Structures are given as C-alpha cells and as structure tokens.
Structure 1
C-alpha cells in the first residue's frame, strides 16, 4: 500500500462511470484505464457464495424487479437498524442470482453506463480474483483489490459469517497471503479483526462515514456507541493507531467531505496530517465529476449529471496528501494525479 506519496487510484466498483458497477466489464475497463486497484463490495447468497453488489438489496442494480419468477421474494428487512424493502442476495442461491442481469444504479445521471443495462451478469468474488490474476500476467504494474465487506454484523445474525466465507474464498483462489495486492476494508472493525484471526494477510482499512456510528458498535453499545466523529478526533485517532495485534488497523478511509474545508487556506482539513502523524494511511471516497456529487464550491453550470469543476476538486483532495482515492472514472483521477507528479 502506497504511503504518503502520489495516491493510489482505486477503481470504485470498477470503472462504474462507464459500465454498470461490479461487472466484469467495469473491472476490466478500470485496469485498462490505469487504475492501480479495484474495489468490490462483498455480500453473500443463501448458499454462502460471495457476490459483488453495492448492497444485499439488489433492486437498484439488477433486473430482479422485472423477473416474475422472483416476485414473491420481495420483502422488508431491517439491515443495520434501518428498514429496507426489496430483493436480497441472501434469499437467492448463486444459481438463481446468476440468471439476473446488472444495471447501472445511477442510471438517470449516467447514460453512458446505463446504456449497457441488461447485458452483463453478476460476478462472484472468485471471478474477480481470477480476472486480476489474469490481467496481472500481462501488466507491468502490480494490480490489486480493495475488498469491502458489507453488513458483517447483519450477515452473521442470519447465519452467514462473512469473515469465514471470505477467508475460505481467499484460500481457494490463493490470495490469503497477498499483503501487497490485498486491502480489506469495512465500516465495522469487528470483521476486520475476525478476518485477521483467520490468518488472512493484507492491509486493513477502517471505513469512516461523515456522521453516525459503526453498526457493530451500535449493536454492542446501543446509544453509548462511539460516533465516527469521536473515532477520528484527537484521542480517538490515536486509539485507532495504537491498537495492537489482531485489533491493529493500517489506515482509515473517509468520506471526502471530511477532507474538504472551503474556509482553510488550502481547502482541506488537517485529518490526513493527523492520521499520518500517528502512522495511519488515509483513503477517501468517492471522486466523481458530476455536479450532483461535487462539493458546492466545485459545481459548475448545467444539471446534476453534467461535469462540474472536477479537476479542481480532485486536485484539492490529492494535495491533502491522501494515500488512496476511490474514483468512478479512474482515468480522470489519473489525469489529475499525473499532472501533479
């Protein structure tokens, strides 16, 4: 994992600005455009197969709602303390999910990606590792994976422990000892510890939201759960950095709003400097060029789907010293990174 230099460019769910997210075509394109790593979101099927979806609820990213044979699977569940209605990966076998076709979650904003709706199947995690291995054989760069484990507390509560399934998968594909090519991230530190307990090597990154608290802490501590803001405060950040053994983490990955500060001289907060001072790497998400996703000072003329002043925002974020950036359009992030080199 690159430390304190030019940031890694990580294809967020592949190159989902150009192809529907989490498809083989999105991941292949991300590497073709120059991404160093790619990031899959990992959830499980009823029969314990790890698949790549933004969430376990899949109505927004597949054609499941148009499939009459699965109409009776629509339901409402509580996931991480919130009610969610739709179709869920854990109610399908892998064989059933394999019949679905992907669609772009941000279709109204991204016609380029949405134009490929209905063409590509869902990927298994094992498919992605096979793809990276194959592409690495012909590349002069080291290609890697930032694997995000989603809703671990929830999945464990229904008998699908993602740490166990993930460790088993890595052993099957030979990625269990790939510290240079594998980063494991989650919004829950508990699952990061459990993965390490199972002997999986790789950098461990704790994901941080702009507000709220980690669900594993909420499940354990209720209203007394430490907030994300507390965890990246002066004391909290030091405590994260000084965790030892199986509890140790290598860095944090934060919502980009936690790095941007229009009132400061350079447009950024001191979070990266504070994290680096205690030995933690910092990633940030997500670099997107559309006005809808740019922070207010960088929005341009036109509608939500039009590109704003993305170069300026990307440049500001990278100048903070961040170690890795997640980008839906990896080529655009590389344009800015390489111009500053």
Structure 2
C-alpha cells in the first residue's frame, strides 16, 4: 500500500521545512540524480489532473500540494502578449467557440487579442474538474487564461506566503524571436536571470534554445535551458554544449526510450533529465511508475497529479540514509511540532 499523504494544508513554517529538506544533497551513493539532490516535482500545466490546465487556480493548487516548479506553456496573442496555453488553438480548452467564434477559419491564439482572450473561461479536460475539495483559489479570476506575467506574480506571492521559492518552467511553444525576447524580458522584470534562480526555459527547438542562450549572454543572463526534442538526432555531449538538461517523453520508444542506461548516459554528459508526462491518476500504479524512474536517477518529473509525485519523492527520500544536514532539519521540525502542540494546549 502506498502513502496517501497530501501536503494540502500544512502550516507554512512546517511546509517550508519539509520542502527545504528535499532540497538538501543526499549522500553520494544514495540518490542517482546528476547532483545527488532530491528530484524535482514539476507541475505539468499546473495541477492539471485536478483543475483546468494552465490556470491560476491549477498552478496555485499545485503549489499547495508541494510542487517545486509550475509549468506554463506559452503562446503569443494577436497583440503580442505571452499567455499560458498549451495548444496553438483555443477551442480544445476554452469556450471560445460560443463566446467569440472562429477567426480566419479556426481558433488560433495568434488571431485573438489579449482583451478577447481574457473573456474566455478554461474548461476542465481529462480527469480535471472546476473545483477541488477544500481548496479556494486566491485569484479573482482563477479559471481565466493568465498572462505569463500573472503566472510569475503568482509564483512570487505564493512564495512569500509559503516561505519557499516557487520555481518557473516556461516553454516556448513556437520558434519565434519575438517570443524569445518577451520571455527573457518578463523574467528579467521579475528579477530572474542567474543560473541559480529556480527557472528552466524549455523548448522542442534546439535552434530556439541556441538563440535564447546567445540573447541571455548578451543580456548578462544565465538561466538554465532544457531541450525537449529528439535526443537520438544528436549525441548527449553535443546537446550539452547548448543546454543544461533534456526533457524526454517517458512513453518514447527506440533510441529515445527512457531507461536506466539512457539516464546514466545523459548524466555522464552533464545533463539533467526531467521526464514527461506522469499522468497516472491511480495512486498505486502511479507510485510504482514514479519509483521506477526516480530509482534510475531521474532528476525531475512532470506530473499532472502533483500530490502523487510529492508522495513518491517522499517515499524515495525516506529510504535514503540521512546525512548530518538532515539531523539539523529534523531538529527544526521537532521545534515546530512542539510549538504547535503548546498552542493547541493553550487554546484548549
């Protein structure tokens, strides 16, 4: 039986300590990740298995469930604004057909202005619903399409609330210089720019990532980049000349099949491995799936079910020998627990 703990409503101080513990490096032989650190929980399109994808509500729920990073896919509106949307069209996930109708024979994001896009409501897809038990979003319009800046602002505000830094993992969905420029401008405006910042920029286009790297160099930026494309088309050592990591599909086959040897080879070239997409909703088979890839040393998982990924990582870390730094962290947890017990006695 797998654990069913969901870190939904942990007190901010306690949640911060738990998540900080996950960031500590484990002993060298304990974890097979590239840097010996705990693998990352990346909220794929937000908590998209529970709430509509790419919404402020979905991102916030993922943060409440313990996500290290939230992932906004980015498209450009007709008037040049970055919006969080996976598809190049609006009709799969919104009510655009009934509210605005088609443009130029279709529903391309690039055919609608930001003001028009802001009129739309994002619909649940797959197993998602419009609400989640016990969760009330803090945003005024939690199921509308957010801009990239709104996602960044949410990460900052939730970081202040939870006492931990919320990472951002944007994807440039189209290969366009204008998108590259706007992504970097928004990140700069919110204070991101160093390799140590909790940001990864991802793309299926290696040319886009090369262009972004050159622009980052010119701007004095060094944000990490991740290639999502076909890694069989180039050696890991060649890919590592341009990016910091790769994002392979866990359902790929052939030369792109993700297994222990694949991850080890990527690590040997100095590449992080963040696999996508962990979409199993059933806790027990999900735990087995996470356990396999995390056991192989995968550095991060893109998951539709943030709580299940969080639980799987917790189980992995529970089996890891604790270095001395964990003793200090556990001491902090004990103090928080003692204070909480005293408060309950005082209120009784």
TM-score normalised according to structure 1 size: 0.73
- Specify which structure has the bigger relative contact order, considering alpha-carbon pairs within 8 angstroms and separated by 6 or more residues: 2
Pick from 252, 257, 266 the counterpart of residue 251 of structure 2.
257
**Compared CA separation, residues 49 and 174, structure 1 to 2 (3 A):** same
Does the 8 Å contact 2:47/2:62 carry over to 1?
A: yes
- The structure carrying a bigger strand percent of its residues is 1
Pick from 258, 276, 284 the counterpart of residue 285 of structure 1.
276
How far is the alpha carbon of 1:177 from its aligned partner?
4.0
Pick from 189, 200, 204 the counterpart of residue 225 of structure 2.
204
- Secondary structure, counterpart of 1:9 in structure 2: strand
- Distance between the aligned counterparts of 1:7 and 1:115, measured in 2? 29
Q: Does 1:311 align with 2:283?
A: no
Structure of higher CA gyration radius: 2
- Measured on the aligned residues, the alpha-carbon RMSD in Å equals 2.6
- Secondary structure, counterpart of 2:83 in structure 1: strand
- Distance between the aligned counterparts of 1:5 and 1:188, measured in 2? 28
- Distance between the aligned counterparts of 2:286 and 2:292, measured in 1? 10
- Distance between the aligned counterparts of 1:208 and 1:144, measured in 2? 22
Ranges in structure 1 where 5+ consecutive residues have no aligned partner: 76-85, 210-227, 291-305
- Distance between the aligned counterparts of 2:254 and 2:304, measured in 1? 19
Q: Does 1:71 align with 2:101?
A: yes
Q: How many residues align?
A: 272
How far is the alpha carbon of 1:337 from its aligned partner?
1.0
How far is the alpha carbon of 1:58 from its aligned partner?
1.2
Pairing of 1:135-174 with structure 2 (within 5 A): 135-152=158-175, 156=176, 161-174=178-191
What are the Cα deviations for residues 191-211 of structure 1, in whole angstroms up to 9, with x where unaligned? 2222232234311110135xx
Does the 8 Å contact 1:101/1:119 carry over to 2?
A: no
TM-score normalised according to structure 2 size: 0.72
- Distance between the aligned counterparts of 1:37 and 1:259, measured in 2? 27
**Compared CA separation, residues 336 and 163, structure 1 to 2 (3 A):** same
- Distance between the aligned counterparts of 2:300 and 2:236, measured in 1? 18
